[in-house]
Structure formats: structure tokens, C-alpha cells
């Protein structure tokens, strides 16, 4: 999420980034972890969604994150996304209380679905235990699919644990769409009939990620996978969100992109230089940005 000098969300720059991403054939997981969405209020997110729609961005390409700590907040944002006919919503479980039961998480999702009460709602569960510290078990997924088969339609697995993703892919859940949480597992996910990946680094490397997604059966796929991982590791030498912003700032020649909201901190000038130098050793650009 780009921010203005007073830390207000910058809809203009967000719209430009979204247009560029769509031109690279990737969808828009706006309001994900690496969008700094958890540093935005519900009002800000509703306003940004409206501004994206007003700018002509196709809502069916959007998968906004809508899972928040408080039930009324999640219901309000999710209902708005459904009303706008977003392709899906990426839904964290409520993440403040820890050690909660699957029964409690089931009730959380069920309450949201019942209260939103909209056939246009398509939920992708968001499993990211390294950050949320509250995970989504295989048993919980099965129960949700059984109760709400046309609403709970997929998952983003950001556990970083391939065996977990594989277990989901092997579960035989009909049309349930399993996305890897990053391109690290894109090729394996495609080989196991997964839906693709949803990844923060798609903000800087969308063309190559899409290319592997589209051509995973080609002989060049393994090499392409290794190149994706190499670039991601380069970014991961620094905190992910400020590093991605530093890359966008560099290639768009727009330092406004460097800003983050606290508790995050922008990369230092020295770190920006190191990151740029490391990237320059790879076959990488952000053409058209």
C-alpha cells in the first residue's frame, strides 16, 4: 500500500500499481499481509475498494483481505467486497486470541458467512501461522467446505510448509482451489493440480511468475522455478514489505513508495543500495512500471 507524506493511503499510486499488475496477467490480492492491510482501518479499506472500482479496475480480478479480529468488522468489509462482486475475499481467522479451538474458528467463519448472507461471496481461507499465529487445520477446512460448499472455495497456504500444502492438494476436495502462499512452491503446486500461487513478490516479479504458471509443463519450468526462488531470496535478505516498496520505488523512480506505516520501518538508504546491487546481478526488471 503506498502512503502519502502524512501516511494517508495513496489511492492514485495504488491504482497505477494495480493496472500494471493486471497488464502482467496477475490478479490483485489487495489487503494482504504484505499490502500492510492490517495497518489500515475498515473505513480506509472500503474507501480504497470504492476508488479502485471507480477507476475501472475489474472487481472480478480482486481478492481483498477481509478477515479481522472483530466479527462486526469482518462482516462489514466482507459484505462490501461481495456487493462489489470481488472475485473472492482472502479471509484470515480472528488473530488476537491465541490457542483457540477449531470449533471457535468454525463459528467465526460461519457467523461471517451467515451475517453477510450473499451468494456472491467467495471465501479463500488465509492460512499464515508464522504471522497470524492462528492457523487453519485440515479438519476445519473440511467442515467449512461441507457446510458452505459454494462459499468456501479455496485457500492460500502461507505456512511455508510444503507438506501442509501437499496434504490439502491430496485431500480430494472437488473444486476447492489451493494456492501456494508464495512462488517458492508454484511448480510443485501446479504439478499437484493446485490453482497457482498468491505471493507478495508478485508485486515486483509478476511476469516471470505468470510465465511459470502458464507454462509449468514446459521443459524450461524447473529452471524458471529456480530463478523465481533466487529473486525471492534476494528480496528476503531484508524485511519483506519495506524491501518490496524499495524495489517499486527504484523502478518507478518514485521515492513516495518507500513509506510504510509504523510499526514497520522503511529500508535505510544503504540497504536500498545493497538490495538494488544484488538485484542487478539477476535477470530482472519491472518493464512498463
Binding site for a second copy (CB under 8 A): 7, 33, 38-44, 69-73, 76, 93-101, 103-105, 107-108, 111, 130-134, 239, 261-265
All residues at 6 or more sequence positions from 62 whose CB lies less than 8 Å from its CB, including other chains: 27, 28, 30, 49, 52, 81, 84, 86, 87
State the minimum distance, in angstroms, from the CB of residue 139 to a second copy. 15
State the minimum distance, in angstroms, from the CB of residue 191 to a second copy. 31
All residues at 6 or more sequence positions from 54 whose CB lies less than 8 Å from its CB, including other chains: none
State the minimum distance, in angstroms, from the CB of residue 93 to a second copy. 7
State the minimum distance, in angstroms, from the CB of residue 127 to a second copy. 15
Nearer to a second copy, 219 or 262 (CB): 262
Nearer to a second copy, 31 or 216 (CB): 31
State the minimum distance, in angstroms, from the CB of residue 43 to a second copy. 8
Pair 113, 74: CB distance under 8 Å? no
Nearer to a second copy, 99 or 219 (CB): 99
Can the peptide bond before residue 263 be classed as cis, meaning omega within 30 degrees of 0? yes
Q: How many CB atoms lie within 10 A of CB 61?
A: 16
Reduced 3-state DSSP string for 81-149: HHHCCCCCEEECCCCCCCCCCHHHHHHHHHHHHHHHCCCCCCEEEEECHHHHCCCCCHHHHHHHHHHCC
Nearer to a second copy, 73 or 188 (CB): 73
State the minimum distance, in angstroms, from the CB of residue 60 to a second copy. 27
Nearer to a second copy, 41 or 150 (CB): 41
State the minimum distance, in angstroms, from the CB of residue 289 to a second copy. 26
> 157: which 3 cell numbers?
497456504
Nearer to a second copy, 155 or 178 (CB): 155
Nearer to a second copy, 182 or 189 (CB): 182
Amino acid at each position: 500500500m503506498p502512503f502519502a507524506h502524512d501516511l494517508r493511503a495513496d489511492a492514485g499510486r495504488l491504482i497505477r500499481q494495480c493496472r500494471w499488475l493486471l497488464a502482467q496477467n496477475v490478479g490483485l490480492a489487495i489487503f494482504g499481509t504484505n499490502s500492510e492491510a492490517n495497518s489500515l482501518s475498515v473505513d480506509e479499506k472500503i474507501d480504497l475498494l470504492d476508488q479502485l472500482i471507480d477507476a475501472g479496475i475489474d472487481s472480478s480480478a480482486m481478492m481483498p483481505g477481509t478477515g479481522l479480529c472483530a466479527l462486526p468488522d469482518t462482516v462489514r468489509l466482507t459484505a462490501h467486497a461481495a456487493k462489489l462482486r470481488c472475485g473472492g475475499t482472502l479471509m484470515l481467522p480472528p488473530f488476537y486470541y491465541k490457542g483457540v479451538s477449531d470449533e471457535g474458528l468454525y463459528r467465526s467463519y460461519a457467523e461471517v458467512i451467515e451475517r453477510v448472507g450473499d451468494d456472491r461471496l467467495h471465501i479463500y481461507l488465509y492460512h499464515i501461522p508464522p504471522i497470524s499465529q492462528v492457523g487453519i487445520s485440515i479438519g476445519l477446512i473440511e467442515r467449512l467446505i461441507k457446510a458452505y460448499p459454494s462459499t468456501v472455495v479455496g485457500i492460500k497456504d502461507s505456512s511455508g510448509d510444503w507438506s501442509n500444502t501437499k496434504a490439502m492438494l491430496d485431500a480430494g476436495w472437488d473444486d476447492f482451489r489451493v494456492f501456494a502462499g508464495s512462488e517458492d512452491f508454484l511448480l510443485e503446486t501446479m504439478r499437484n493440480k493446485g490453482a497457482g500461487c498468491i505471493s507478495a513478490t508478485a508485486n515486483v516479479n509478476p511476469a516471470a511468475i505468470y510465465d511459470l504458471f502458464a507454462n509449468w509443463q514446459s521443459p524450461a519450468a524447473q529452471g524458471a522455478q529456480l530463478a523465481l526462488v533466487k529473486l525471492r531470496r534476494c528480496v528476503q535478505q531484508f524485511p519483506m514489505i519495506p524491501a518490496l516498496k524499495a524495489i517499486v520505488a527504484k523502478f518507478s523512480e518514485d521515492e513516495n513508495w518507500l513509506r510504510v506505516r509504523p510499526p514497520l520501518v522503511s529500508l535505510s538508504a544503504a540497504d536500498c543500495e545493497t538490495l538494488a546491487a544484488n538485484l542487478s546481478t539477476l535477470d530482472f526488471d519491472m518493464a512498463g512500471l
